Chain A
Amino acid sequence: ELKVEQNPLFLSMQEGKNYTIYCNYSTTSDRLYWYRQDPGKSLESLFVLLSNGAVKQEGRLMASLDTKARLSTLHITAAVHDLSATYFCAVDEVSNYQLIWGAGTKLIIKP
């Protein structure tokens, strides 16, 4: 059974700092997604990582995928308050047509 673990589950940080969210998964997969969710809202797609070594960047966020280590990271550079949200990683269990989700990392960035 595919399992996805995120850590930390909660992160409070000051503006201007850097930090990394980790996403580990238990079986082989080369398809991983990062989503953002604001309180009471739906899921917004951030990154689609489809191969080993994939790295994608958007603004202050950068995501990478290491399929051999079964690890993806979401790095936040010089955090700003607007990045406060819950971030989820999801692994594509292609053979079963479903996404397996991490528990989410609630990120609070204090101005």
Chain B
Amino acid sequence: NAGVTQTPKFRILKIGQSMTLQCAQDMNHNYMYWYRQDPGMGLKLIYYSVGAGITDKGEVPNGYNVSRSTTEDFPLRLELAAPSQTSVYFCASSHYGWTSGRTSVSTDTQYFGPGTRLTVL
């Protein structure tokens, strides 16, 4: 298994340009997430998806869009790049279902991709 893969690894954009960050996982996980990590900070949730065709906003969704047409892929779209979007972007996935010993449904451990370093100038 390749796990969670992200492309590209690095990208420099000019203000106002658009791009799509790609994310794919081969673990048949139903949940997928996009986080951003600003310098000296932890990760913050941008968008997440609970399955194909279902997405929802996280803590910092402004300036981004997502889609989830398949279980495997969860691309993140930046429409009009701004300097404030300079960051490292991480995609993650996890399984949502019954955990052994529990009496309620819960999500399991999240597995992260290697990240995309984006600079907007």
Chains A and B are bound partners: no
- B residues lining the A interface (CB < 8 Å): none
